[in-house]
């Protein structure tokens, strides 16, 4: 059975931004890639080595990294 990516970026909310979960825990609301990178850094990932299009790391729901509202 394939393991799900540890980071999920949920669909855009009606008020703007996207909820982000890391290993099932809500870490915050991201309003763009900079916010997402900060949440990943706080989760212990090296921001310089993170690729936002890495499907093994991030599951994008309701749009890809270009969709925030």
> What are 1-50's pLDDT values in tens digits?
557 889 999 999 999 999 999 999 999 999 999 999 999 999 999 988 99
For the chain, the C-alpha Rg in angstroms (whole number) is 11
Confidence bin at 63 (pLDDT 50/70/90): very high
Average pLDDT rounded to a whole number, residues 45-68:
93
pLDDT attached to residue 47: 84
Beta strands in the chain (DSSP E): 7-12, 18-22, 25-30, 58-60
Whether 54 has a pLDDT exceeding 80, the answer reads: yes
Domain map (residue ranges) of the chain: 7-60
């Amino acid at each position: 059975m394939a393991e799900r990516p540890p980071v999920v970026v949920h669909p855009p909310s009606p008020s703007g931004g996207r909820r982000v979960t890391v290993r099932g825990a809500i870490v915050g609301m991201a309003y763009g890639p900079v916010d997402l990178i900060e949440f990943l850094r706080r989760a212990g990932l090296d921001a310089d080595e993170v690729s936002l299009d890495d499907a093994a790391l991030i599951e994008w729901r309701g749009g890809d990294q270009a969709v925030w509202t």
